[in-house]
Amino acid sequence: MQQDKQNTHQKNPKVGEIYELCNTISPFNTQESWDKSGLNLGSFHNEYTDIVLCLEVNLAIALSLKPNTLLITHHPLFFNPTAQMITDTYPHNIAAILIRKNCSLISLHTNFDKSHLNTYLTHQILQWHHFVPSEDGLLMSGKIPPISLQKLAQDVCKKLNAPSVSFVQGDDITFLNQESQASHTNDAITEAYVVCGSGCSLLSQIQPNPHICLLTGDIKHHDAMMAKSMGISLIDIGHYESEKYFVEIFDSILQNVGYNAIIMDCKNPFYFCQAKHQ
């Protein structure tokens, strides 16, 4: 009897398989309540042909994707609810392109901050290996050898390979309340907190101290004024600079379990210039 020919057609893997892998290494139920991590676009049942990794999807990346691509990003495409989908405005213009190409999008944001990114930034990039996470994983903290705020900012800028960082000197409340200010000599930073992305909303979790510094991105003017009045120093390390490591971390994770990904560079949307003053 003639044997049936084996079906040589192999089905492509499905989005749901990668979603489950993501959920295993960085559970989506640990994301912040306001976050939109998870499957942003597509279907768990969609088959994909390529995996593309990037910090976030922009218009250039969306246009360059092949059909049936699975895109994995740190930043979700959608944050705010919408009642309309106007496809010539962000982010719906990007979503429309992905839908036309039958692409799927999975994002790992604050859940990945907690499980991987904060630790990687602090231990591997800043080289503070002894720092420990807070209970929710959003804050890394530890003691550091006494150093001036300006010198610390310079060191951090170099380690991040950033074009610049800005810093805010916290007020020494005890010193300002003293009648005599002659004894104030030591403003060294001896303890640091690290939050990748935008972390000034966590200032309330830090006990004010003139020797403490918070390193995070997206520091607004009013954040700076609040921290300064609390006696906490700040270094703005940049949102992009603090999270750009997502791609290399996740690429390593995928390779360890047998998946290959295409890395697409999503550059910092900000450019920096320095004016020459006379």
Q: How far apart are the first and last CA of the chain?
A: 94
Q: Burial level of 51, CB count in 10 A (0-12/13-18/19+)?
A: buried
pTM: 0.89
Closest CA to 191 of 140, 127, 141: 141
Residue set of the binding site: 74-75, 113, 239, 243
Superfamily of domain 112-180+188-242: NIF3 (NGG1p interacting factor 3)-like (3.40.1390.30)
pLDDT at 98 over 70: yes
Residue set of the binding site for a divalent metal cation: 74-75, 113, 239, 243
Is residue 126 a contact partner of residue 194, using CB atoms and an 8 Å limit? yes
Q: How many CA atoms lie within 13 A of 97 on its CB side?
A: 19
Round to whole Å and give the CA distance between 148 and 154: 10
Label residue 6 by pLDDT band (50, 70, 90): very low
Please name the fold of domain 15-108. Answer: 3.40.1390
Cα separation values, 120 from 55, 77, 129, 147, 261, Å: 15, 24, 10, 23, 20
Mean pLDDT for 197-210 is 93
Label residue 179 by pLDDT band (50, 70, 90): low
The per-residue pLDDT for 78 is 94
Residue type, 31: Q
Q: Which residue intervals of the chain are DSSP H helices?
A: 15-25, 59-64, 92-100, 110-112, 118-120, 149-160, 173-177, 221-230, 239-243, 246-256
Mean pLDDT for 209-215 is 95
Where, residue-wise, is CATH 3.40.1390.30 in the chain? Answer: 15-108, 112-180+188-242
